[in-house]
């Protein structure tokens, strides 16, 4: 590491999205992102990712072009504060999803189901915040009460799995918590923000007879692994009830509090504070525009932007330039 690099102080960091082809995707992420989409159906934009195959690049300042993995190795205390040394990679992965068609019916293992986790991987608990939805949109989350391994297998054999799944028609602003082990799917013209453990382990139970246009073949299923990872005792999950923490100067609601992450939604037009002393936070602007003030500099925050506030940055003032809708994510403590 050069002497100049060793003297670098971290600052609010913006990241470039990584767009992903998905056969169930569409083109609606063009309205969320400032960068053009590649051709074809784009189902996912990974907006903060520390994965070997898809590593987010910093888009602003002296560290432009560096990856978040590089920061974790070179500046662990500045980036992670008290959590420095606890993680070999950034512990969360964040995305925008455009599910024009239905995603596969799938399940993710938990951290405890190590038999189903490749080396170095974690389980996958996640949450969605609905950004767009229509009358045909669906979120499937959990199994019908009384579903057993035997009647789920029978439903798979008969091609009627949908009848074993709980679902609801989502509305814009709904938030849904999907613990590891929950059978789930979504689609029918829905755009969501997703925050999850940094894991890419997914077992497909059923895929609606989709054919991948790139291969001309159905996608592979992992039925046995999926069934082994299902929590059959889990209650079906509808939208969470937001907890109002503040109403002035802006509305601040806590959406999710779990062992893997915390998630808040902040809405309003008056200046407010984001971040926390010595804590790593992530901001995702889902509507509106504003400025983040830090150390005498102003950072313009636009719809679709994701900003990481390293632990050394601490709390910052945020000044909306119009009504803003912001998500704030905290790492596990």
**Any idea what the CATH number is for the domain that residue 183 is in?**
2.60.120.10
What is the SS3 assignment for 222?
coil
Phi, psi of 196 (to 5 degrees): -150, 165
**Same domain as 249, residue 224:** no
Would you give the DSSP letter of residue 175?
Answer: E
Residues 6 or more apart whose Cβ sits within 8 Å of residue 160: none
**Same domain as 172, residue 54:** yes
**Same domain as 100, residue 62:** yes
Q: Which pLDDT band, with edges at 50, 70 and 90, does 234 fall under?
A: confident
Mean pLDDT (the chain) is: 93
- Burial string for 20-31 (b: 16+ CB within 10 Å, else e) reads bebbbbbebbee
Whether the full predicted model's pTM is greater than 0.85, yes or no, is yes
Per-residue tokens: 248: 């002035």
Q: Is 115 exposed, middle or buried (0-12, 13-18, 19+ CB in 10 A)?
A: exposed
CA triple 323-327-169, angle to 5 deg: 95
**Same domain as 105, residue 43:** yes
245-297 tens-digit pLDDT: 999 999 999 999 999 999 999 999 999 999 999 999 999 999 999 999 999 99
14-27 tens-digit pLDDT: 999 999 999 999 99
Give the per-residue pLDDT at 35. 87
147-159 tens-digit pLDDT: 999 999 999 999 8
* End position of a domain, from candidates 180, 197, 229: 229
Q: Is 228 exposed, middle or buried (0-12, 13-18, 19+ CB in 10 A)?
A: middle
Give the per-residue pLDDT at 1. 41
**Same domain as 254, residue 220:** no
Give the per-residue pLDDT at 61. 95
> Average pLDDT in the 169-186 region?
96
Range of the domain at 271: 243-330
**Same domain as 145, residue 15:** yes
Give the per-residue pLDDT at 209. 87
Distance CA 140, CA 236 (A): 9
Give the per-residue pLDDT at 7. 54
Give the per-residue pLDDT at 104. 95
> Average pLDDT in the 220-240 region?
91
Per cent of the chain over pLDDT 90 is 87
Whose CA is closest to 28, among 98, 76, 82? 98
> Average pLDDT in the 290-315 region?
96
**Which is higher by pLDDT, 217 or 318?**
318
Q: Are 222 and 105 in contact (CB under 8 A)?
A: no
Compute and round to an integer the Cα radius of gyration of the chain.
Answer: 20
- Domain total for the chain? 2
Give the per-residue pLDDT at 235. 76
64-74 tens-digit pLDDT: 999 999 999 99
């Amino acid at each position: 590491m050069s002497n100049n690099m060793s003297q670098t102080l971290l600052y609010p960091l913006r990241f470039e999205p990584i767009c992903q082809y998905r056969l169930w995707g569409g083109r609606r992420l063009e309205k969320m992102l400032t960068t053009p989409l590649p051709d074809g159906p784009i189902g996912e934009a990974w907006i903060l990712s520390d994965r070997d195959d898809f590593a987010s690049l910093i888009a602003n300042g002296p560290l432009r072009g560096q990856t978040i993995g590089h920061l974790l190795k070179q500046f662990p205390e500045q980036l992670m504060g008290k959590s420095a040394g606890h993680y070999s990679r950034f512990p969360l992965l964040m995305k925008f999803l455009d599910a024009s068609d239905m995603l596969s019916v799938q399940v993710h293992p938990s951290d405890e189901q190590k038999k189903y986790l490749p080396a170095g991987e974690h389980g996958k608990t996640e949450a969605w915040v609905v950004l767009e939805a229509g009358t045909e949109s669906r979120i499937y989350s959990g199994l019908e009460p009384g579903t057993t391994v035997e009647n789920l297998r029978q439903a798979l054999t008969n091609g009627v799995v949908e009848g074993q799944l709980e679902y609801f028609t989502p509305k814009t602003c709904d938030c849904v918590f999907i613990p590891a082990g929950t059978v789930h799917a979504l689609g029918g013209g829905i755009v969501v923000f997703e925050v999850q453990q940094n894991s890419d382990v997914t077992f497909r139970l059923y895929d609606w007879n989709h054919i991948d246009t790139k291969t001309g073949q159905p996608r592979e299923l992992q039925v046995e692994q999926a069934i082994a990872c299902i929590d059959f005792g889990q209650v079906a999950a509808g939208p969470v009830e937001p907890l109002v923490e503040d109403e002035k100067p802006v509305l601040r609601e806590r959406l999710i509090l779990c062992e893997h992450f915390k998630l808040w939604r902040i809405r309003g037009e008056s200046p407010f504070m984001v971040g926390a002393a010595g804590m790593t936070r992530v901001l995702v602007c889902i509507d509106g525009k504003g400025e983040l003030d830090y150390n005498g500099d102003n950072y313009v925050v636009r719809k679709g932007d994701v900003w990481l506030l390293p632990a050394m940055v601490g709390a910052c003032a945020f000044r909306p330039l119009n009504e803003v809708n912001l998500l704030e994510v905290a790492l596990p403590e």
